[in-house]
Chain A
């Protein structure tokens, strides 16, 4: 286990990545962290400041300066302000002299040199000389290398008393099988699920949140090392949802320390999820969305079903990333940053369209549940100011392809979810099989709703004709949350929500819109969801994305309809 942590710590790429877990690690070890790292800045050389009990039993002030990887001659002292020696100088000259909060001025100070790897031998004598020279009665120095940090992880947040052996095994297997994402995720989700089940009080919930977060980091770093972040992507989305479920009880308790602590972890976990998404999208996918069939060919599946399933999955991830970024931009008070984030979200929408246009399998999903990814992407387009004309053209093409494939008994959108059924679809070109395969549809009402926003009566008429002639048996439906969704949505429970059935199809789409609006008035559970009331609406979308639930139409009625009307 320790080796896993050692390797993880040594593989961290950025200083911020070590910063990210250190405060939680310290908190779990009993330190009171009063200064957390700020992105891109240090406070007079100090990345983290905390008060805690030292090995000699004395209460001391710990000032942490953090560097990534091994401590080398360059990172010790290369003449730049980022070197460790420069940071130590600043701490001694500035922080120790002027910035120690009054309430801690009586405490002795330990300056901790933190780095994920080891101190290289050629620099050790320099460091030791520095330490001897500047150590005083009040100020001492400590080396927190990878080995020590791994030890602290073992005895702190992930110690055996709070993470039993069985669960540790799940964690170890998740890390070991990270190149087999399905298996790795199965173990990780089991670990998270069982920890969350066991967390019944404030302390346990807080600790569980931190454990999940740190475990996720370890998984991510290992996955990144072997160049396959699929498992951490799924794990991080799942972790966000379970963290939200841990946080829910504190939604109305603004003074709860546990609530604040879990909120902090939640914020960090969102950042981590975006970092993982970024690793996947920005490094691997987005540079190639402009290559015709590029992503399709990179899937390297044996069947067209592999290509179709993966492409829509990628589109859904682009949408979710864009929606998270759009959400963050809305919360950011800094105008420049806000504009930058908004542009980033819009760029993602544009990238999505490039992906669609260069990978035409995205013009028709194989599975009805892929309507989730379509809805998410349309939401992003609406929210981030993407090109609605492109969206319209995409849906027009989709309606056309749907009609063609259904009529020709081709690879039309089906309700099956088993992979074996999907690769064999259509197993038979008979009306009987087609009836089974198209028993219900969330895709058609979604397309119809958007086509009606775009005023495209012609395409709507095509859908109506299809429904009247070939799909009479097909139940057109959408899904909205009900009262039980608040407890079921974030943990992946299937038994909640309302299926809105037999939605009407008309050439102007107005009847469906009226039906939806009437339903929203009658069923207001959506607005009462904790993630909605607190403004964390992407959590609901993440739940839909992760647990494969149709996106509640309230989202697109509110975000896209007004834009389309303009």
Chain B
């Protein structure tokens, strides 16, 4: 990106007169020695002196022609100069509108509004004119009246807009009030009383969400739990999608300033969330994440539990929350997994996998003692762990072991049986290594050792059988199976490549031979430069359950039975 020298005033005028100033506005210019923006200052001066008219430039064809990236440079330029311009309010609003429309859906599109608000603050009379025009029904003025009201901090007129109008001006008034400064709590509460009726059900969804948002913006500096609860209660009555979004935003931005009951009301309303409304979902996810580790944590986890239980959403929709849970307190994750498994809800338990596969497989190094489970619940939990977490053998084993640590002899024997079949019969690698790693001081040591001994005996019996050549697949069959496996791996590799973000960002070369590469690249100066790279191996290891080969139908049947089993 080139940084240009600052053109002289004459040059700027020339560019303006030639209709080419737009291009210059979209360039970066060298700052002055003191760090100030000389180009910006020079332009403002020329404009305020009447040598050029910056307000009309965005409406010129040359402005339309600049590319998107350059446009945002120009837009930033305007945001910086607008508060300093001497200009006609209508012309300036038109200028701002052009800049906003050209920016499209970009997150920074509405930045000129802020600049206009600043301009109004400096030009109160002109702001009053905008408000007057808006009252008179002028479209352009109505579009910008929010910022005029804010700039003028005209609470009374904004309140009047809310109270008196039933068109968009009510919304503009509401929006304006949310950003105003109130002298004290009482004056703020008086305005909230005006806004409150528009939160209740029966109003338009957009009005409700704006009113809710405004009310909480006004109340933010003044802690008033009772009023906040009343407002949320109103919003929670038959909420539309926008009100739900508003409640989600409220939790995200201000859950800490709400009391438990209010958070509960909001979360309860958010149970009605439509899975298609990704924005709201994402906001809820972020809100829940913020609640984890705070006094509202249990409510957040309750919400997650109840929402997932309904089955329309999965834990994948709450990525931020699950990541936060996964990286924080392991005991909390254990308790949540246990809770979901014990719930008997398939939809809920299906989500437990998310908590055991972060990085490498999770080991729950804990005991079920503190959970106070009955023997029936302990066994139920173990079968559920097998049903839902079977493909994560170490995590699954660690849950079973946590129960053994708190179980009586009878339950231990039952769990020992489950550890042997299907767990160890399926996974003689990682699961066995985990069990073997338990120290002799572990409360589960005795039971686990019995299981390992039994497994050893089982293997010994298998080894005694030796090779029975007659049973081996033929060469033809081995080749066919190998070919199929190879094809499957290749397909999986292709699919993984397709989904790889990195793959889309980088240049891809296939090296057929060698253990390092040497490539020559041409530098900007035209000189060739050698780039050497050592090749590294990378791979992934997945242990497939052995029973999937020995008795796939039986294993499937067992897992299904464990999954569908209901609590006694």
Contacts and interface: CB of A to CB of B under 8 A. Distances in A.
Is A bound to B?
yes
Interface of A: 179-182, 227-230, 233, 280, 284-285, 288, 291-304, 306-307, 310, 314, 359-361, 363-364, 401, 404-405, 408, 410-411, 419-420, 423-424
Given A294-B465, A304-B548, A306-B477, A404 B553 contact: yes
B420 to A, nearest CB: 10
Contact of B461 (A284, A294, A411): A294
A424 B480 CA distance: 10
Contact of B471 (A293, A299, A423): A299
Contacts of A306: 473, 477, 481
B221 interface: no
Nearest to A412: B553
Contacts of B473: 299-302, 306, 310
Contact of B549 (A182, A285, A288, A303): A303
A263 B173 CA distance: 110
Contact of A364 (B477, B482, B484, B553): B553
Nearest to A401: B553
A445 to B, nearest CB: 21
Interface in B452-475: 458, 461-462, 464-475
A292 to B, nearest CB: 7
A310 B478 CA distance: 14
Contacts of B87: none
B481 A303 contact: yes
Contacts of A303: 481, 549
B557 to A, nearest CB: 6
A280 B469 CA distance: 10
B476 interface: yes
B556 interface: yes
Contact of B465 (A291, A364, A410): A291
B481 A423 contact: yes
A361 B470 contact: no
B465 A310 contact: no
A58 B401 CA distance: 88
Nearest to B469: A228
B553 A284 contact: no
- Interface SS, B side: helix
A228 B471 contact: no
A293 B478 CA distance: 21
30 contacts: A180-B475, A181-B470, A182-B475, A228-B469, A229-B470, A230-B469, A230-B470, A284-B470, A285-B468, A288-B464, A291-B461, A295-B465, A295-B468, A297-B465, A298-B465, A298-B471, A299-B471, A299-B473, A302-B481, A303-B481, A303-B549, A361-B550, A363-B553, A363-B554, A364-B553, A405-B553, A405-B556, A410-B556, A411-B553, A419-B476
Contact of A298 (B425, B468, B481, B549): B468
Nearest to B477: A419
Nearest to B483: A420
Interface in B476-534: 476-478, 480-482, 484-485
Given A304-B549, A419-B480, A181 B474 contact: yes
Contacts of B557: 401, 404
A405 B553 CA distance: 7
Nearest to B466: A298
A307 B551 CA distance: 8
Contact of B552 (A300, A304, A310, A314): A304
Closest 8 CB pairs of A and B: A228-B469, A230-B470, A302-B481, A296-B550, A360-B554, A360-B551, A304-B552, A299-B471
A385 B519 CA distance: 79
B469 A404 contact: no
A288 B481 contact: no
Given A301-B477, A306-B481, A227 B554 contact: no
A83 to B, nearest CB: 35
A303 B480 CA distance: 11
A422 to B, nearest CB: 10
Contacts, number: 117
Nearest to A306: B473
Contacts of A304: 548-552
B550 A297 contact: yes
A280 B425 contact: no
A299 B472 contact: yes
Nearest to A311: B471
A124 B474 CA distance: 47
A299 B549 CA distance: 11
Which of B474, B476, B548 has most A Cβ within 10 Å?
B474
B478 A302 contact: yes
Given A227-B469, A229-B470, A292-B458, 5 more contacts: A228-B469, A230-B470, A298-B465, A304-B548, A410-B553
B549 A233 contact: no
Nearest to B556: A410
A227 B548 CA distance: 29
Interface string B225-256: 00000000000000000000000000000000
B481 A301 contact: yes
A300 B472 contact: yes
Nearest to A404: B557
Contacts of A410: 552-553, 556
A126 to B, nearest CB: 41
Contacts of B482: 302
B132 interface: no
A181 B477 CA distance: 12
A361 B551 contact: yes
B324 interface: no
Given A284-B468, A360-B551, A361-B554, A420 B474 contact: no
A307 B470 contact: no
B220 interface: no
A410 B554 CA distance: 11
B554 to A, nearest CB: 5
B562 to A, nearest CB: 14
Nearest to A228: B469
Nearest to B420: A292
B312 to A, nearest CB: 22
Given A298-B468, A298-B471, A293 B476 contact: no
A187 to B, nearest CB: 15
Contacts of B550: 293, 296-297, 304, 307, 359, 361
B566 interface: no
A228 B484 contact: no
Nearest to A233: B470
A404 B563 CA distance: 14
Nearest to A297: B462
Interface in B535-568: 548-554, 556-557, 560
Contacts of A294: 461-462, 465
Contacts of A364: 553
Nearest to B471: A299
Interface in B268-283: none
A374 B174 CA distance: 79
Given A229-B470, A301-B473, A302-B473, A420 B480 contact: yes
Nearest to B421: A292
Nearest to B459: A297
Contacts of A411: 552-553, 556
A363 B476 CA distance: 27
B464 to A, nearest CB: 8
A254 B59 CA distance: 117
Contacts of B556: 404-405, 408, 410-411
Contacts of A361: 550-554
A181 B472 CA distance: 10
Nearest to A420: B480
B424 to A, nearest CB: 12
Given A180-B474, A228-B469, A285-B468, A307 B549 contact: yes
A180 B473 CA distance: 10
B471 A300 contact: yes
A449 B425 CA distance: 35
Interface string B128-169: 000000000000000000000000000000000000000000
A405 B466 CA distance: 32
